[in-house]
Amino acid sequence: MKTILPKELEEKITNGAEIHIIDVREDEEVAQGKIPGAKHIPLGDIPNELAKMDKQQHYYVVCHSGGRSTAACEYMISQGYDVTNMTGGMSAWQGEIEINK
């Protein structure tokens, strides 16, 4: 499984790369803030949401500390998706966050 450090993902965002981030945390966690532009899909909803995702795209998967995103990545890889897990999760993220009101 491919992994990326939070700082490396932040650099990609800062450099204007077109990236697709999926945040698999629960609603109450995402309410505390998420990476700007990340799409929130709770881990339990991933199987039902995959049909809406493009297998030609690459996705970065994020959770709180890396466990749930690892599980999401393993599942998505088994379904033919190209994904990278952000190690350390949001607990290691030092970049900008957005809070949806």
Q: pLDDT, tens digit, for every residue of 15-66? A: 999 999 999 999 999 999 999 999 999 999 999 999 999 999 999 999 999 9
- The CA-based dihedral angle spanning residues 95, 41, 24, 3, taken in that order and rounded to the nearest 10 degrees: -70
The enclosing H or E element of 91 equals none
For domain 2-76+87-92, is the CATH number 3.40.250.10?
Answer: yes
Enter the pTM of the model. Answer: 0.96
- Which residues form the catalytic set? 63
Nearest to 21, CA basis, from 62, 52, 51: 62
Enter the tokens of residue 89: 């999760």
Query: What pLDDT band is residue 100 in, cutting at 50, 70 and 90?
Result: confident
